[in-house]
């Protein structure tokens, strides 16, 4: 009977996720389960529901029987760009925006799905399977705003889908370990307008491509005295070799803006969670620290299979030079009764983006996250809901005391500030225990 349920739920997870993955968004997405979302994602040491497959798979040894959880997060980001570009730098009005004008990022809600299954094989061994999108971004700007010539100036979309089976073992009553492979799919869609000086309009340049490659994860959980638990989880880099294409709409033969195929190599970064949780009666408190290897995200430099543009340059080379960053999370849960849990949390995430790499693709800086959530239990069913408000610092485009930022193949500098950068996140997970 257990084997039948196990195989059936794998099929259910696959059918549920495939239609939704194309809508995933947000570059580093920690919202992989509504219970954790309600505690500002401080969950690496608790890891006591099926979403532990993502946060700390060593924790699935705590779960009885066969459990499944299916959920999604709805992410609504907002941002504005206030121009400080000198009017003298655009005498012919190609940018179409005057100094001091404000442009709003296009409204769009991203949907980030997740699904998990766990099965306890015996008192010392458990199996888990998760599928989730933990990296992604989606930003859309008007086709006529002054930053439209930047890389990703009208659209920047990165989608990932990871499938992660894990095996957890408990060699000691106070220790559990886990390891598993990760298969990750990645898809890119970067668009911008191409500056031609007005002679040929502004053709759209679209860089797109995809790839599937492998990484791995490992985790540890230790039950400490005095109702403390320690959790640690690590996810490796995944190196992708992308075969894609560059399309111009329309193509302009006269200046060699013609479609071509391309190749690019990128890595999604490694990350690690460290968590310490304390439980006293109905109250649980947890503090987590998260490290992300953003220095691996250093450049997107496609190699084209034929010359493109008058100088064999299309403005699609992106030098990021990001640095590693930490995030700090504190969450709390209180069990009101056997049917209801209430949760809250606060987190602070460092931005990995140096001043010189600020762009419209990811406009915000360091950010604070405020979270609340609820969990309802009835017999074998659990429903978790959560809300987060993300408040990111304003960032400046253009460097004080140095040359301002220039668009690829565009006329003059682009200067200004990304401000009012925030996001609303709503999360829901439904779980069932067999």
pLDDT in tens, the chain (434 residues): 444 443 333 333 333 333 333 333 337 789 999 999 999 999 999 999 999 999 999 999 999 999 999 999 999 999 999 988 776 666 556 666 666 789 999 988 888 899 999 999 999 999 999 999 999 888 999 998 888 888 888 999 888 999 999 999 999 999 999 999 999 999 989 998 888 877 788 899 998 999 999 999 999 999 999 999 999 999 999 999 999 999 999 998 888 888 999 888 889 999 999 999 999 999 999 999 999 999 888 777 788 887 776 544 445 566 778 899 999 999 999 999 999 999 999 999 999 988 888 888 888 889 999 999 999 999 999 999 999 999 999 998 875 544 455 555 555 667 889 999 999 999 999 999 99
d(CA 106, CA 250): 23
d(CA 103, CA 83): 8
| Enclosing domain of residue 264 | 2-433
CATH number at residue 419: 2.40.160.60
| CB-based contact 288:45 (threshold 8 Å) | yes
Q: How many CB atoms lie within 10 A of CB 111?
A: 15
Q: What is the DSSP letter of 53?
A: H
How many domains does one find in the chain?
1
Please work out, in degrees rounded to the nearest 5, the angle formed at the alpha carbon of residue 244 by the alpha carbons of 241 and 249: 155
- Return the pLDDT at 122: 95
Q: What is the pTM of this model?
A: 0.88
Q: How many CB atoms lie within 10 A of CB 232?
A: 17
Taking the CA atoms of residue 275, residue 292, residue 211 and residue 51 in that order, the dihedral angle to the nearest 10 degrees is 20
Q: What is the CA radius of gyration of the chain?
A: 23
| CB-based contact 157:143 (threshold 8 Å) | no
Question: In angstroms, how far is CA 35 from the centroid of its own chain?
Answer: 18
């Amino acid at each position: 009977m257990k084997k039948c349920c196990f195989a059936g739920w794998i099929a259910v997870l696959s059918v549920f996720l495939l239609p939704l993955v194309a809508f995933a968004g947000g570059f580093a997405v920690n919202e992989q389960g509504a219970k954790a979302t309600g505690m500002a994602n401080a969950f690496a040491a608790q890891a006591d529901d099926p979403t532990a497959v993502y946060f700390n798979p060593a924790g699935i040894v705590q779960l009885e029987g066969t459990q499944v959880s299916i959920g999604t997060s709805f992410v609504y980001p907002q941002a504005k760009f206030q121009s400080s570009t000198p009017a003298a730098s655009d005498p012919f009005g190609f940018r179409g925006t005057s100094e001091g004008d404000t442009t709003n990022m296009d409204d769009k809600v991203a949907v980030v799905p997740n699904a998990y299954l766990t099965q306890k094989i015996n008192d010392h061994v458990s199996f888990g399977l998760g599928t989730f999108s933990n990296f992604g971004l989606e930003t859309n700007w008007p086709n006529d705003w002054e930053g439209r010539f930047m890389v990703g100036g009208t659209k920047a979309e990165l989608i990932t889908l990871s499938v992660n089976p894990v095996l957890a073992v408990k060699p000691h009553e106070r220790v559990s370990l886990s390891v598993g492979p990760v298969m990750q799919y990645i898809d890119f869609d970067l668009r911008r307008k191409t500056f031609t000086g007005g002679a040929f309009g502004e053709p759209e340049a679209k860089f797109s491509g995809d790839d599937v490659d492998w990484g791995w994860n490992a985790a540890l959980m230790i039950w400490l005295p005095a109702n403390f638990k320690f959790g640690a989880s690590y996810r490796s880099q995944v190196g992708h070799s992308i075969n894609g294409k560059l399309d111009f709409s329309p193509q302009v033969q006269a200046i060699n803006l013609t479609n071509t195929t391309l190749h690019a190599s990128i890595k999604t970064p490694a990350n690690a969670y460290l968590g310490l949780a304390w439980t006293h009666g109905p109250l649980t408190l947890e503090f987590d620290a998260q490290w992300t290897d953003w220095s691996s995200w250093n450049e997107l430099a496609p190699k084209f299979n034929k010359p493109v543009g008058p100088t064999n340059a299309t403005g699609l080379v992106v030098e990021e030079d990001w640095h590693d960053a930490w995030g700090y999370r504190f969450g709390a849960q209180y069990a009101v009764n056997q049917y209801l849990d209430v949760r809250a949390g606060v987190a602070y995430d460092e931005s990995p983006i140096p001043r010189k790499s600020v762009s419209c693709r990811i406009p915000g800086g360091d950010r604070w996250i405020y979270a609340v959530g609820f969990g309802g239990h009835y017999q074998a069913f659990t429903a978790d809901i959560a809300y987060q408000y993300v408040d990111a610092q304003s960032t400046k485009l253009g460097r004080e005391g140095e040359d301002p930022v220039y668009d690829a193949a565009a006329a003059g500098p682009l200067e200004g500030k990304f401000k009012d950068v925030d996001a609303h996140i709503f999360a829901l997970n439904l779980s069932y225990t067999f």
